[in-house]
Amino acid sequence: MKAITYTEYGTPDVLHIKEMNKPTPKDNEILIRVHAVSVNMGDLWGRNFKAITPSKFSMPLPLWLPSRLYFGVTKPRINVLGNEFAGEVESVGRDVKRFKKGDPVFGYRGQSMGANAEYLCMAENGIVAVKPANISYEEAAAIPYGALTALPLLRRVNIQPGQKVLINGASGGIGSAAVQLAKYYGAEVTGVCGTPRLGFVKALGADKVIDYTKEDFTQNGEIYDLIFDIMNKSSFEKCKDSLKPNGVYLLASFKMKQVFQMLQTSRSNGKKVICALAMENLEDMELTRKLVEEGKIKAVVDKCFPMERAAEAHRYVESGNKAGSVVITIG
Ligand SMILES: NC(=O)c1ccc[n+]([C@@H]2O[C@H](COP(=O)([O-])OP(=O)(O)OC[C@H]3O[C@@H](n4cnc5c(N)ncnc54)[C@H](OP(=O)(O)O)[C@@H]3O)[C@@H](O)[C@H]2O)c1
């Protein structure tokens, strides 16, 4: 089978198509013929993790070393990237009950990667579900990462109908899912993003959009129940006056400083800082499938690239010009 591989860290030029052995599913696994994978921040990090120094790492320092060891210190340990995918079940192991040959599926592999290949094995109880019929493989490949990250984080802060929620970083992989999920939970949503993506965030269902290059949302007098700062671009100090008395400042990216703020504010009755890591799970994958079927979550695919042009896909994501998801079609 063909796979997009890399054996050294670096620019998108390190990505090459290579022939590899087609995997054979174990008794509890399904073999998937991959049709589409998306390119998200995890792929960019994995491709050049040696450039992610502790200061560039968007998580606390104690998590940097295990991540560096996991991805490989001097060269990549994992040679095929790709964490979210969609495809068709080609065959099933003899103990598999949830899937059958021919089922369209989509799923998430997290840090184990490996979806940038024509074939992929997944445990039947892994994070994989039947693809909703109302979306294409390309759209399906762009959904799991954002949804499976945003869902547990919004649940962690007990989001409620009628709450005023601001998503800072609303146009990204996690933010675009968070906007739609916050709407699903009945919140009034303001999305913050850059100028070229204001229309994109509005089309996701945001009630209001703010351009961070033109307006500082902490200075406009609006007060929120929840400020979800995906990339840690603001701060609790700046957001405090924009939070209701029991408001929450939620971070998907955070450093030790924010962890200490979380500990400090956890003891008070007032405004809280919450730093949370998403634990992706099959129940959320099934919920995501249902929400897609009901039209509550959609994926907007900006551009598709054939696997031979994977480097171009990575360059386009790195350019910061995308509005929606970038997908690589496989085979
Ligand atoms: N907590 C967890 O479990 C977890 C899981 C996975 C990932 N993460 C973290 O999530 C982050 C990646 O998120 P993602 O995949 O959504 O990233 P992404 O797709 O690259 O999106 C980045 C977002 O940040 C916005 N942004 C850039 N500069 C900004 C600024 N100055 N002010 C406000 N917004 C700004 C971008 O807006 P424009 O593009 O419109 O300019 C875009 O909406 C990483 O730091 C990663 O560590 C956390």
Identify residue 277 by its one-letter amino acid code: L
**Contact present, 2 and 307 (Cβ < 8 Å):** yes
Residue nearest to atom 34 of ligand 1 (CA): 169
User: What are the structure tokens assigned to 70, written together?
Assistant: 């996991």
Nearest to 82 by CA among 312, 307, 270, 239: 307
The pLDDT value recorded for residue 57 is 95
**Contact present, 5 and 300 (Cβ < 8 Å):** no
Residue nearest to atom 25 of ligand 1 (CA): 169
Ligand 1 atom at minimum distance from 232 CA: 45
Distance 229 CA to ligand 1 centre (A): 8
Mean pLDDT of 281-291: 98
For every residue of 219-281, DSSP letters joined together read: GS---EEEEEETT--S-HHHHGGGEEEEEEEEESS--HHHHHHHHHHHTSSS-EEEE------
Is the confidence at residue 268, as pLDDT, over 90? no
**Contact present, 313 and 305 (Cβ < 8 Å):** yes
Distance 169 CA to ligand 1 centre (A): 5
Ligand 1 atom at minimum distance from 275 CA: 1
Distance 70 CA to ligand 1 centre (A): 22
Distance 46 CA to ligand 1 centre (A): 16
Distance CA 162, CA 37 (A): 35
User: What are the structure tokens assigned to 274, written together?
Assistant: 């919450």
Distance CA 85, CA 93 (A): 20
Using the structure block, give the residue that is written with the tokens 């054996």: 7
The DSSP symbol for 124 reads T
The DSSP symbol for 8 reads S
The pLDDT value recorded for residue 72 is 96
Residue nearest to atom 2 of ligand 1 (CA): 277
Pocket residues for ligand 1 (CB within 6 Å)? 40-41, 58-59, 149, 168-175, 192-194, 197, 212, 230-231, 233, 252-253, 276-278, 320
Contacts of 253 (CB under 8 A, 6+ apart): 58, 59, 229, 230, 231, 232
Using the structure block, give the residue that is written with the tokens 């450039």: 51
Segment 232-245, tens digit of pLDDT: 999 999 999 999 99
Mean pLDDT of the chain: 97
Q: Determine the residue of 231, 234, 273, 302 to mutate for testing ligand 1's pocket, defined as the one with the most ligand atoms within 8 A of the Cβ atom.
A: 231
Segment 178-235, tens digit of pLDDT: 999 999 999 999 999 999 999 999 999 999 999 999 999 999 999 999 999 999 999 9
Distance 285 CA to ligand 1 centre (A): 21
pLDDT confidence tier of residue 61, bands split at 50, 70 and 90: very high
Is the confidence at residue 331, as pLDDT, over 90? no
Is the confidence at residue 109, as pLDDT, over 90? yes
Distance 147 CA to ligand 1 centre (A): 14
User: What is the C-alpha end-to-end distance of the chain, expressed in Å?
Assistant: 9
**What would you report as the CA-atom Rg of the chain, rounded to the nearest whole angstrom?**
20
Using the structure block, give the residue that is written with the tokens 């991540």: 67
| Chain mean position to CA 144 | 7
Distance 6 CA to ligand 1 centre (A): 25
